Structure 1
Amino acid sequence: MAPRTRPPAVSRYQPREQDGKFATLFLQDVYRGLEPGVDRGEIKRLRVVREMPKTVRIDPAMRAFGFQFPVVSCGATYAPKDVLGEVPVEPDGSACFHVPAGVPLYFMALDAEGRALQRMRSFTHLMPGESQGCIGCHEPRLDTTMPHRGQALNRAPRNLDPPEWGTGGFAYWRVVQPVLDRYCVECHHPHNAGGGIDLTGDRTDFFNVSYETLARENQGPDGSPYVSWIPTYNGQEQNILKIAPRTWGAPASRLAELVSGGHPDASGKPRFEMDPESRRRVYAWIDLNVPYYDTSETAYPDKEGCRRIYAPEVDKVLSEVAQRRCQSCHVNGEMHRKEWTRITAPEYNTFLLAPLSKSAGGTEKCGKPVFDDTSDPDYQAILATLRPLEEQLHALPRMDMPGGKPAPEVCRACK
């Protein structure tokens, strides 16, 4: 036993009133952890992203695309995203800025084009009035701070610059589809799907047509042929080790190359020049890990994934018609259909366009017309299985449609 000096008592911190909703972050040097894969001077801005809450309690038996219930993406992100804004990175790699308190946040290091060369793979929270800092981006955990103040501390913390498309949730159909409508659908539509690519915005059973085409079709461990995204299915956990800069997202995506290069033709001449704001929308979607829905709310809690609009009658009638009229190409009526079905404008499904004569508005991709015109009883029988689904969507809009409203009967005890 020996006398000791009484330790100092730390008073309970009470944030100033103006700090009640915000916290402050300081980044010492973004290049610590990025070099040598990223050169100094490449990182121009930091993007701050909020993980949106899952506000509803749903039976896991309703899951789809792994364990998504409600569905947010095609097997990529399982949480909706909200881009809160961006801040500049100083020439020495530092940044200091305000962020909302009490919400899950993560960050992206952006190049001059707005592509994420690296992203945070977890998230953090801060309390009101709290100040925290990090020394780099994916630097070794045992690294210590450098004896360097950082240029960002020579000025007051910055406020976030919100994205031009607004905050509140990143909805593919609202942020990205207008870009495709403006620049792409003139060539990539149901009647002239250049390269088999349809980029229109008609709703499908889960998503919309362009999302199905770009993100869902032919997906594998590295995403799809057009978009590099991180799978979140069970059994894909090894991708957590793939953290080198430019491994995922826009820097590794063919779609981003087409967007930045103007989709050149065979002679190398660009077909279009997309404006910078539109390019950044596309890059942001890819780097957010291709979300489609901007909310975990649902208008259809009793459907698969709390989203899917479909009916078994579609498959039954298609198979029956194919067995009678398509045996020359489709043995036993087995057709190689897409994974998705167009619900709005159902007459533009390939299984209705391909057998329909060109004179009647079809594509005749079957080689010769099976249906001479749209009055054919079998054509009408197939279409009749889809029309009620289209009417259902218009009467009760899904959350990816104007007028979509959360179902009132869903349990929100976890909110």
Structure 2
Amino acid sequence: VGCHENRNSAPPINGPARALALQRPPSKLDGWYGAPRFFSYEREVQPVFDKYCIECHDYGKSAADKLILAGDPDLVFNASYNELLRKGLIHVVGAGPAQVQSAFSWGSHASKLVKRIQENYHLDAESFDRIVTWLDLNAPYYPSYGSAYPDNPGGRSPLSAGEVARLTELTGIKFVDYLDWAKALGPQISFARPDLSPCLAGLSDRSPGAYQEALAIIRTGGERLAQRPHPYDDPAQLCATDQEREKKYQARRAIELANREAVRSGTKRYDQ
């Protein structure tokens, strides 16, 4: 019975037709490839592409013109995530629509990526499971809203708005379009391998000075990410505002866990 349905429409829990599931204790969750954690595309999915795909689908490789599946970080996401969304190889609902979606209309069953893998490639069971799980979770990228660069473009870029604007002047690429998937350009920056950044293609011949300045800006972004990566596991990497939010969350969570324990043990616990 859903949140907005009549509670009396649920079947009775007692009687001759009592459900089998109610006749035994609940099953314990057995985990998903490790300890409980927030889902991160870079950590859970990208290693699959690194293992099976980038031999051909990497910058300068034989299938690079069709699809880039390298994990090089860009302004907001990494190259493979950008490519898979922009080229329509995955079908997820994102932030909407509000209407109820029918079964199998989105996620792994509706994504071209899964069909191509099933038809043309052999992945081990865990690798395949990681991809379909990601899709059925609505294809998230970041594991949390916490950020180390909240004031920069997209709230994630290691480059400031001024540095991105200067990069646009030097390369002619409108990087602000990264924030709108309808105008997405595909990966243009590689903070992991700055020399391979697509936005620099041909620039050294047209304007060597502009090329060197643009390359220096991208290298600066890569150095910042190395020194202060996205804060997946280390709250100390969060910006000051998000550190305060995390501190408050952990305090409230501790209170909630204590309240639940009081309910289980039948003891009284007063609000603090």
Fold match by TM threshold 0.5: yes
Alignment identity in percent?
28
Picking from 140, 158, 164, the partner of 2:33 is 164
Cα RMSD over matched residues?
3.2
Picking from 130, 145, 148, the partner of 1:296 is 145
Query: Residues 293 and 284 of structure 1: is their aligned pair in 2 closer, same or farther, counting only changes over 3 Å?
Result: same
Picking from 309, 313, 338, the partner of 2:166 is 313
Residue 208 of structure 2 is aligned to residue 342 of structure 1: no
| 1-structure distance, mates of 2:113, 2:69 | 12
| 1-structure distance, mates of 2:208, 2:232 | 33
| 2-structure distance, mates of 1:408, 1:274 | 42
The DSSP-based 3-state class of the residue aligned with 1:189 is: coil
| 1-structure distance, mates of 2:132, 2:80 | 15
Cα offset, 1:289, TM superposition: 0.8
In structure 1, the partner of 2:48 is 179
The DSSP-based 3-state class of the residue aligned with 2:109 is: helix
Picking from 102, 108, 112, the partner of 1:244 is 102
Query: Residues 383 and 394 of structure 1: is their aligned pair in 2 closer, same or farther, counting only changes over 3 Å?
Result: same
> Which amino acid in structure 2 is aligned with residue 405 of structure 1?
Q
The DSSP-based 3-state class of the residue aligned with 1:186 is: coil
Structure 1: unaligned runs, 5 residues or longer: 1-133, 219-224, 265-271, 321-335, 357-369
The DSSP-based 3-state class of the residue aligned with 1:153 is: helix
Deviations 1:140-183 (A, max 9, x none): 94544177322223332110121014321111100001111001
Contact 2:90/2:112 (<8 A) preserved:
yes
| 1-structure distance, mates of 2:232, 2:3 | 39
The DSSP-based 3-state class of the residue aligned with 2:98 is: helix
The DSSP-based 3-state class of the residue aligned with 1:240 is: coil
| 2-structure distance, mates of 1:211, 1:184 | 14
Contact 2:158/2:221 (<8 A) preserved:
yes
Picking from 129, 134, 138, the partner of 1:285 is 134
Contact 1:260/1:279 (<8 A) preserved:
no
Contact 1:203/1:343 (<8 A) preserved:
yes
Contact 2:69/2:80 (<8 A) preserved:
yes
What are the equivalent positions in structure 2 for 1:37-116 lying under 5 Å apart? none
| 2-structure distance, mates of 1:241, 1:206 | 29
Number of corresponding residues: 227
Contact 1:300/1:407 (<8 A) preserved:
yes
Residue 205 of structure 2 is aligned to residue 371 of structure 1: yes
Cα offset, 1:388, TM superposition: 1.4
| 2-structure distance, mates of 1:307, 1:381 | 22
Cα offset, 1:342, TM superposition: 2.6
What are the equivalent positions in structure 2 for 1:116-131 lying under 5 Å apart? none
Deviations 1:183-203 (A, max 9, x none): 111110011244431111111
Contact 1:200/1:209 (<8 A) preserved:
yes
Contact 1:397/1:405 (<8 A) preserved:
yes
Structure 2: unaligned runs, 5 residues or longer: 174-183, 250-272
Greater shift, 195-204 or 143-152, is seen at 143-152
In structure 1, the partner of 2:80 is 210
In structure 2, the partner of 1:387 is 219
Cα offset, 1:404, TM superposition: 7.5
Residue 108 of structure 2 is aligned to residue 259 of structure 1: no
Contact 2:152/2:158 (<8 A) preserved:
yes
| 2-structure distance, mates of 1:153, 1:395 | 52
| 2-structure distance, mates of 1:195, 1:315 | 23
What are the equivalent positions in structure 2 for 1:4-23 lying under 5 Å apart? none
Query: Residues 208 and 414 of structure 1: is their aligned pair in 2 closer, same or farther, counting only changes over 3 Å?
Result: same
Residue 15 of structure 2 is aligned to residue 145 of structure 1: no
Greater helix share, 1 or 2?
A: 2
> Which amino acid in structure 2 is aligned with residue 292 of structure 1?
Y
Structure whose alpha-carbon radius of gyration is higher: 1
> Which amino acid in structure 2 is aligned with residue 191 of structure 1?
G
Normalization by structure 2: what TM-score?
A: 0.72
Cα offset, 1:402, TM superposition: 8.6
